[in-house]
Amino acid sequence: MMRTGLNQTQEDILQYISKRTQKLPRVSPEVFTANHLAGELNISRNSASQYLNEFAREGILLKTNSRPVYFFNREVLENEYHIRINRSTFESIGEFQEVIRRLAMKKKNFAKAVGNDAGLSYEIS
């Protein structure tokens, strides 16, 4: 899902968000804001916000429409939790967390029903 032709700032932003997303839920939500990212990368908040919103529109990042706005790396979350996230925006950080939790639980329940190292027929027998 990574797009090509990125400038260095864009690459830095994606790398920053990806590394922080890998540490969920052990990091503070504030590290996923444009303001925090701008300070960490020494860029303007407007530039950070512009790039983050571009990546959200392209589906690379997930976004909450809250104040402050939070951004998370979709691919990292999907790989970490073995889920597929079918939307890019959430109304709040709480809704975002609930959707991820529900998808992960659904995947876990499916794996339990099917069995991790056996087929469904074995589990039903």
Task: State the pLDDT confidence band at 110, using cuts at 50, 70 and 90.
Answer: very low
pLDDT tens, 18-52?
999 999 888 899 999 999 999 999 999 999 999 99
In the prediction, which pLDDT does 36 show?
A: 97
In the prediction, which pLDDT does 108 show?
A: 59
Q: How far apart are CA 94 and CA 90, in angstroms?
A: 9
Q: How far apart are CA 111 and CA 89, in angstroms?
A: 27
112 vs 47 pLDDT, higher one: 47
Q: How far apart are CA 51 and CA 76, in angstroms?
A: 18
Laid out side by side, the sheet with 89-90 consists of 71-73, 61-64, 89-90
Task: State the pLDDT confidence band at 106, using cuts at 50, 70 and 90.
Answer: confident
The answer to whether 51 touches 13, Cβ cutoff 8 Å, is yes
Please report which helix (H) or strand (E) contains residue 64, including its range: strand 61-64
Distance (Å) of CA 107 to CA 28, 32, 41, 46, 103: 26, 25, 36, 38, 6
Domains of the chain in start order, with CATH, are: 8-124 (1.10.10.10)
